[in-house]
Amino acid sequence: MTVLRDQDLVHAFDHASRTYDRLTALNPGYRTGLLRSARRLRLPHDGAGLRVLDLGCGTGASTRALLRAAPRARITAVDASAGMLERALTKPWPARVRFRQLNAEGLATAGEGPFDAVFAAYLFRNVTDPDRVLGTVRALLRPGGRLAVHEYSLGGSPVHRALWTAVCQAVIIPAGTLTGDRDLYRHLWHSVLTFDTAPAFTDRLTRAGFAAARALPVAGWQTGITHTFLANRATAPAEAAR
């Protein structure tokens, strides 16, 4: 299976950044799904006075969703790919949004935080050690801070696996092949098949010390394929055991 990791994956995203927005635009509901997940953070008062981390911001689609969900929040958007960030920075942003080139693991020593909320879209499939990254995220959150993970994570039914494979083979991989990014989109296909199911990732969140972890479906053709995972930073050992 073609599953890329670490610098190989960063380089693949650097190359794909030229056409990434055009390809994601082919996905019905891509931006609507991101917005729904961002709104599920339920940040009060339009995010006024809150600090929010967009972890794995890519070309800024998730950042834009956060801005729409919490237009008064201060957003720090980070990504490991210089190419993706370059594309993000070509777009207009208010002064309260700033971008940094960092990988998820590097956040622990980057002097960032604490944050009131973290949004991570399409990130956890792509990290070598998701538990380590969850530990970093938990440390960066204020006690009671909110986490929303928007991710391809199958519901467990063979139907979901079959639909995902059909879409990848009929649309995603051929489109990526035309742009010279076939390996990245084969990675996308296989990374979803090998990643946690929705119940397994919910359990992973709980083991990492998050409270009230739950998975909510994303509407449309991605139902059973993409989920919003919501959780809070546990403030006491008893919470983490729930």
CA-nearest of 70, 76, 77, 72 to 42 is 70
pLDDT, one tens digit for every residue, the chain (242 residues): 568 888 999 999 999 999 999 999 988 899 999 999 999 999 999 999 999 999 999 999 999 999 999 999 999 999 999 999 999 999 999 999 999 999 888 887 888 889 999 999 999 999 999 999 999 999 999 999 999 999 999 998 999 999 999 999 999 999 999 999 999 999 999 999 999 999 999 999 999 999 999 999 999 999 999 999 999 997 755 444 44
Structural domain contains residue 190 = no
Position 110 scores a pLDDT of 86
Determine, yes or no, domain membership for 180.
no
* Residues in CB range of 200: below 8 A, 6 or more apart: none
The model carries a pTM of 0.94
Instruction: State the CATH number of the domain containing residue 203.
Output: 3.40.50.150
Confirm whether 62 is domain-assigned.
yes
Give the model's pLDDT for residue 241: 42
Question: What is the number of domains present in the chain?
Answer: 1
- Is residue 40 assigned to a domain? yes
Per-residue pLDDT at 238? 46
Let me know if residue 166 belongs to a domain. Answer: no
Q: Is residue 225 part of a domain?
A: yes
Residue 22 pLDDT: 94
Residue 91 pLDDT? 97
Confidence at residue 148, expressed as pLDDT on a 0 to 100 scale: 98
Side by side, which strands form the sheet with 115-121?
97-101, 74-79, 51-55, 115-121, 141-152, 226-233, 210-217
pLDDT at 109: 85
pLDDT for position 242? 40
- State the residue range of the domain holding 125: 21-155+195-240
